Amino acid sequence: MKNFDEYNDKSRRDGLTLDSQVVHGATGMDPVTGAVSFPIYQTATYKHPSITDRTGYNYSRCINPTREEVERTMCILEGGARAYAVSSGMAAIMLTLSILKPGDHVVCSDDVYGGTSRAVKEVLAPMGVANTSVDLSRLSDLMAALRPETKMIFVETPTNPMMKVADIAAIARIAHERGILTVVDNTFLTPYFQRPLALGADIVIHSGTKYLGGHNDLLAGIVVLREPDLGQWYEIRNHVNGAGLGPMDSWLLLRGMKTLALRMRRHNDNAVKVANWLRNHPKVEKVYFVGFADHPGREISDRQTTGCGGTLSFRVDSMETVNQILARVRLITFAESLGGVESLITHPVSRTHTEVSEADRLALGITDTLLRLSVGIEDADDIIADLAQAMA
Ligand SMILES: Cc1ncc(COP(=O)(O)O)c(C=O)c1O
């Protein structure tokens, strides 16, 4: 077995589209036996040949071949120089935020995942890292928030759950002129629809738990770096941090990613149908969906993405309707998370966004009557029929 860079046989992938790349991954098979499923190296440690000879493998917290295959594959899909697979999206976020030092300042999307907001406000702030939350769909707000000590801009696009769109290329340009790192949480669209590094971002983060894994059966996080410069820093932090993704979960993630292209297209097409149906329902006041032609971020989306993904939010007329939907859905499951093959619905105020203050939630539009729907890959007509019966 060779090490990370040595095994990256780029010639096998020359000219392939992302649809083919996701199926085969980086190495795509066991380099020793030819088994077409990459092996699960379920080991904590590795035998040394002698005191002077090294295999490149020492201890699975630091390096594991199955995890490396995930990392190589994510480098290819996101167009990065180095990737790190860790135990959850939050582990990826914390690993990245821990670049910051006391006295630094981070600007963050105002409508980020609740865990990111909590990490910035409740973990980083007491350690002396200042933060400002900004609507990053408005570049003038970003400019007003920048300080000489700003070291990172943390972007989520589209945002969760209000589906606001930020212009990654414009933000990265502003950041680079000032020596600031641009980090993009690409969980919602995946590299299949959006490739932030190609747009100028420095670091991409994923909750691999969502669309990358795709089956609601694992937790994983990914960090991909555009340039290798930060790699040494990550290497050390990752070893100390001890959050490396386990071999079994690495393999599940690899298996899930093989169908990423098929799933993303189906999620996307289903979401378009469901969003249009919801829009015309008398109990629905507003649907937040990037795929609408009149979405305020349409022009940016057309430029920087090739699809709108499968997640949407909608506001209904009353709490009675919220309760009725959550109690009556049968095909759709009332559960947290998103991006899996099964359709899931959640109530941000009481579930995903409990950490966000009421004032902040209301300012963003996250009211009691807002629901978030992760449209799965079932038949769109069945999903719509389920919503119809639940809302009748
Ligand atoms: C956009 C986004 N980023 C990060 C996370 C955190 O990922 P995980 O739950 O895998 O820790 C989530 C979880 O919902 C998310 O939606």
- What pLDDT, in 10s, does the model give residues 240-277? 899 999 999 999 999 999 999 999 999 999 999 999 99
**Active-site residue flag, 61:** yes
Domain co-membership, 242 together with 273 = no
Report how far residue 373's alpha carbon sits from residue 339's, in angstroms, rounded to the nearest whole number: 10
Please state the domain count of the chain.
2
Of the listed 41, 46, 113, 288, which one is catalytic?
Answer: 113
Residue that terminates a domain, selected from 225, 257, 289? 257
Report how far residue 306's alpha carbon sits from residue 296's, in angstroms, rounded to the nearest whole number: 17
Domain co-membership, 237 together with 367 = no
Indicate if the pLDDT at residue 10 is higher than 70: no
What is the band of 239 on the pLDDT scale with cuts at 50, 70, 90? confident
Domain co-membership, 145 together with 184 = yes
Of the listed 185, 202, 249, 386, which one is catalytic?
Answer: 185
Q: What pTM was estimated for this model as a whole?
A: 0.96
Q: What is the DSSP string of 269-334?
A: HHHHHHHHHHHT-TTEEEEE-TTSTT-TTHHHHHHH-S---SEEEEEES-HHHHHHHHHH-SSSEE
Give, as one character, the DSSP assignment of residue 12: G
Domain co-membership, 150 together with 289 = no
Q: Is residue 1 in a domain?
A: no
Q: How far is the CA of 19 from the centre of ligand 1 (A)?
A: 24
Of the listed 151, 195, 210, 361, which one is catalytic?
Answer: 210
What is the band of 309 on the pLDDT scale with cuts at 50, 70, 90? very high
Report how far residue 124's alpha carbon sits from residue 131's, in angstroms, rounded to the nearest whole number: 8
Q: Is 131 exposed, middle or buried (0-12, 13-18, 19+ CB in 10 A)?
A: buried
Q: 336-353: per-residue pLDDT in tens?
A: 999 999 999 999 999 888
**For ligand 1, mutation pick of 210, 219, 290, 313 (most atoms within 8 Å of CB):** 210
- The pLDDT assigned to 237 comes to 83
**Active-site residue flag, 234:** no
Sequence letter at residue 268 = N
Geometric angle at alpha carbon 12, from 9 and 13, rounded to 5°: 100
What CATH number is attached to the domain comprising 235? 3.40.640.10
How many alpha carbons lie under 13 Å from residue 318 in its C-beta half-sphere? 6
What mean pLDDT comes out for the span 278-284? Answer: 98
Residue that terminates a domain, selected from 223, 240, 257? 257
Domain co-membership, 278 together with 200 = no
In which domain, by residue range, is 233 found?
A: 10-257
Q: Is residue 252 in a domain?
A: yes
Domain co-membership, 156 together with 224 = yes
Domain co-membership, 325 together with 245 = no
Report how far residue 6's alpha carbon sits from residue 275's, in angstroms, rounded to the nearest whole number: 46
Sequence letter at residue 243 = A
> Counting atoms of ligand 1 from 1, which one is nearest the CA of 112?
1
- The pLDDT assigned to 12 comes to 63
Domain co-membership, 269 together with 185 = no
What mean pLDDT comes out for the span 186-196? Answer: 98
What mean pLDDT comes out for the span 371-385? Answer: 98
- The pLDDT assigned to 116 comes to 94
Whether 80 lines ligand 1, by a CB cut-off of 6 Å, is no
Sequence letter at residue 380 = A
Q: Is residue 5 in a domain?
A: no
Q: How far is the CA of 286 from the centre of ligand 1 (A)?
A: 24
Q: Is 199 in contact with 193 (CB distance < 8 Å)?
A: no
Count other C-beta atoms under 10 Å from residue 212's C-beta. Answer: 30
Share of the chain above pLDDT 90, in %: 87
What CATH number is attached to the domain comprising 366? 3.90.1150.10
Q: 18-72: per-residue pLDDT in tens?
A: 999 999 999 988 888 989 999 999 999 999 999 999 999 999 999 999 999 999 9
Token pair 């097409």 is at which residue? Answer: 269
Q: Is residue 14 in a domain?
A: yes
Q: How far is the CA of 50 from the centre of ligand 1 (A)?
A: 43
Domain co-membership, 211 together with 323 = no
Mean pLDDT for the chain?
Answer: 94
Indicate if the pLDDT at residue 3 is higher than 50: no
**Active-site residue flag, 113:** yes
Indicate if the pLDDT at residue 183 is higher than 50: yes
Phi, psi (degrees; rounded to nearest 5) at 151: -115, -15
Q: 203-217: per-residue pLDDT in tens?
A: 999 999 999 999 999
Q: Is residue 352 in a domain?
A: yes
β-pair type (203-207, 181-185): parallel
Query: Of 326, 336, 332, 313, whose CA–CA distance to 376 is shortest?
Result: 332
Q: Is residue 3 in a domain?
A: no
Residue that terminates a domain, selected from 231, 257, 283? 257
Q: Is residue 365 in a domain?
A: yes
Q: Return the residue whose CA atom lies nearest to atom 16 of ligand 1.
A: 113
Domain co-membership, 244 together with 283 = no
Domain co-membership, 310 together with 341 = yes
Whether 73 lines ligand 1, by a CB cut-off of 6 Å, is no
- The pLDDT assigned to 11 comes to 60
- The pLDDT assigned to 236 comes to 83
Indicate if the pLDDT at residue 141 is higher than 60: yes
Q: Is residue 298 in a domain?
A: yes
Domain co-membership, 207 together with 88 = yes
Indicate if the pLDDT at residue 1 is higher than 50: no
